[in-house]
A and B are shown apart, each in its own frame.
Chain A
Amino acid sequence: MSGLFYLATLTFLIGMVWKILQYARTPAPLKIPTTPAPPTSAGVVARLARETLFFESLFRANLLLWFFAVLFHGGLALVFIRHLRYFVDPVPAWLVWMQPFGIYGGIAMVLGLMGLLARRFLIRRVRYISTPSDYLWLVLLLVIGVSGLTMTYVAHPDVVALKAYIQSLWHFTPAPFPADPFLTLHLLGFLVLLALFPFSKLLHAPGVFFSPTRNQADDAREHRHLAPWSQSELESQ
């Protein structure tokens, strides 16, 4: 298990750094913000914040989809914060305080995922565009979410041993893994997700920040925007 932990984390980190560098280094040769767009970079920051925190465009597009997406992503964010308690020691007071919200988040996340999965089966247009991997991602996330909720409500694992295990991973002196069927499933699911993240459509997470239609300021007339490969040809004219 510890080997998988390190392997998945390393794959995730290297893969993400590689993709993010690739996005950052690929030039945007032209100004293509989807207008109306903010004319200043402060406006762009606000636009991206609205897009990533409130899913502004999705809200405009489809309310039901927006609802499930917010339920899932919002829930996931709470769950993520709740899990920090296994990684930090001592656990700060605010993190203790928010623990129940993490559980509500877990429920929201699973409900959101079920909604998203149901859409793929029930709406013919969405069924048409779905690939096998689209279903599998939702199933994987459901496995992680449901196994997590099972450990919260039905079969409690030894969380003290779990925390000791995760702390030991930090120090590269792995303690024995507290074997528990749900915990094993939960963690394996998470590690698969982590390792596949940089090779999958989960790249929408970093991608949205690099999307020229969203991250460019609408100032084409005021500033001469140039890309290296385009400019060098210009100079020779």
Chain B
Amino acid sequence: MATPTAVPTLDPTTIDQFTPDAMAGVRSFPAPPEIQGAIGFAPELSEGWEARAIARMGELLQENRALRVFLDACVHCGACTDKCHYYLGTKDPKNMPVARQELLRSVYRRYFTFAGKWFPKLVGARDLTRDVLDEWYSYFYQCSECRRCSLFCPYGIDTAEITMAAREILNHIGYGQKYTSEIIGKVHRIGNNLGLTAPALRNTLEGLEEELKEETGLDIRFPLDEAGAEVLLVTPSADFFAEPHIYSLIGYAKVFHAAGISWTLSTKASEAGNFGLFIGNHQQMRKIAHRIRDAALDLGVKRVVVGECGHAWRVAYSFWNTLIGVGSGADPDDRYGHLLQKQLDHRYKQPSHICEVTWDLLQRGAIQVDPEANDHLTVTYHDSCNVARGSRMGDTPDGAFEIPRAIIRKVANRFVEMDPATIRERTFCCGGGGGLLTDDLLDVRIKGAAPRMAALREVVETHKVNFMATICAICKAQFTKVLPAYGFKMGMVGGVHQLVSNAIRLGQNG
């Protein structure tokens, strides 16, 4: 596909030079009625949508303290105005986090606050009109829910929560986005976001086993639906056939093989991703997550491990215990939670990230590596937003930064960090997260990638970096697409377990 976008340049001195409504017309395709209807939303906008939208907003305010506090607390200080990658890349002021929030807040004020009801002009309150609704649709799908703004906000206001609420209202009244709604339909119907059927999945995994047999001479397995396995691995479905994702899948298999851990994938839970998060719909998020609980119970596994997927890890780490009981600490009288938790082995963290598993094995010497195998690579690491700002690994608060880096340093000899202002909790989104990874938003995606690409360019030029490792399926897919627009090779992005796969010793400990 031809690149429709001029690549933006980032110059701190022009941070204030913006063009109002530059991106107002950039909209992903709305979902057709049958797609919306199939997942329980109103099929399309119909008479009375205004009242239904306001009513839904009222319900969300009752259900979610974050939304209530965030809509009240903002003082328009401007701390967030230069923090969003979409603002930096598009220079549309409505992509400043505070301005994006204001699209919803202005309506909240009008219908739910004294000041907005009586003095709308004074406090910037607006009626909910079709124009406002279209504006919501444009700009709430130019937010990747990466939470970078929430890090810098003096009150911790998280635009992701506002975006999720707005998308939930839009879906509720029948104005959904085709990309996310279609995928949610697929995960319910077929079991994963990419619509890979059980026979096709089995076929793919058998093919991988044959390939690895040829390559290594070993029986490295990709088990599917094997009851009694110790580990259930839940991974993004892109890992099954997309590049570079699949190289990480091979890496996980080699790790389990070398450590002698029995594991299985599940046709029922053949997707770690959970787009219920992106649209802020609690019921969808739980329903999608529930397949993992069912698979864990059916297969009788002792551990649930999650593959390289950013938002999936946020849902798994932060929400699974709440949503489906995958975790620890359920009360004995919490029958729903206890039923699963008594089956799980709590000597391990539940759920565990594949990086936690691999790092633990590396530390204990249970797997061995030859870092020289990666000597053709100079590696940098892109922290994925949901991992960095919405979850954790290990026992210390910075585990999600340290553990993947520790693995990389162990399996590769040359590792370089990007600009400190763009890594760890300050990391920039890849530009394609949160339900934006669709070609109809390619313009936004390319522009939103600008801050990360600038930081990458710096280490490519000064340190000859030729590989950017990351642990997110969306990051991998997004970079594969946008790297060429910035003059880089698409193959320079890949997973941490792709590096592990290159370096791991198989024969000796298998």
Residues in chain A within 8 A of chain B (CB atoms): 19, 22-23, 26-32, 34-39, 51, 55, 57-58, 60-62, 65, 69, 119, 123-126, 128-134, 136, 199-201, 203-204, 207-208, 210-214, 218, 220-227, 229-230, 233-235, 237
Which 3 pairs between the two chains have the least Cβ-Cβ distance?
Answer: A207-B73, A61-B152, A213-B156
- The distance in angstroms between the C-alpha atoms of A234 and B337, with both chains bound, is 10
Q: Is the CB of B73 within 8 A of A60?
A: no
Q: Is the CB of A201 within 8 A of B76?
A: yes
Q: Is the CB of B397 within 8 A of A60?
A: no
Given A35-B388, A201-B73, A213-B156, also A224-B99 (CB < 8 A): no
Classify chain B's interface size.
Answer: 35 or more
Q: Is the CB of A35 within 8 A of B150?
A: no
- The distance in angstroms between the C-alpha atoms of A213 and B151, with both chains bound, is 9
Chain A neighbourhood of B397, CB < 8 A: 35-39, 218
> In the complex, how many angstroms separate the beta carbon of B195 from the nearest chain A beta carbon?
26
Q: Is the CB of B317 within 8 A of A34?
A: no
Chain A neighbourhood of B382, CB < 8 A: none
Set B77, B122, B283: member contacting A131, Cβ < 8 A: B122
- The distance in angstroms between the C-alpha atoms of A28 and B286, with both chains bound, is 16
Flag whether B121 is at the interface (Cβ < 8 A): yes
Taking A129-B98, A224-B329 as known contacts, 19 extra A-B pairs with beta carbons closer than 8 A to each other, sorted by chain A number, are A22-B68, A26-B61, A31-B318, A32-B66, A32-B158, A35-B425, A37-B392, A51-B154, A58-B152, A61-B80, A61-B153, A62-B78, A129-B76, A132-B124, A134-B75, A199-B115, A210-B69, A220-B322, A225-B322
Chain A neighbourhood of B350, CB < 8 A: 221
A-B contact pairs, 11 of them (CB 8 A): A23-B69, A28-B66, A35-B400, A61-B79, A62-B79, A69-B77, A128-B93, A201-B76, A211-B69, A213-B157, A221-B327
Q: Is the CB of B123 within 8 A of A131?
A: yes
Mark B104-145 against chain A: 1 for CB-CB distance below 8 A, else 0.
000000000111000101111000000000000000000000
> In the complex, how many angstroms separate the beta carbon of B116 from the nearest chain A beta carbon?
9
Q: Is the CB of B319 within 8 A of A34?
A: no
Chain A neighbourhood of B347, CB < 8 A: none
- The distance in angstroms between the C-alpha atoms of A132 and B151, with both chains bound, is 27
Q: Is the CB of A26 within 8 A of B400?
A: no
Q: Is the CB of A224 within 8 A of B63?
A: no
Flag whether B64 is at the interface (Cβ < 8 A): yes
Chain A residue nearest to B325 (CB atoms) is A224
- The distance in angstroms between the C-alpha atoms of A35 and B313, with both chains bound, is 13
Q: Is the CB of B156 within 8 A of A214?
A: yes
Given A29-B282, A129-B81, A201-B72, also A57-B152 (CB < 8 A): yes
Q: Is the CB of B155 within 8 A of A208?
A: yes
Q: Is the CB of A204 within 8 A of B73?
A: yes
Chain A residue nearest to B328 (CB atoms) is A222
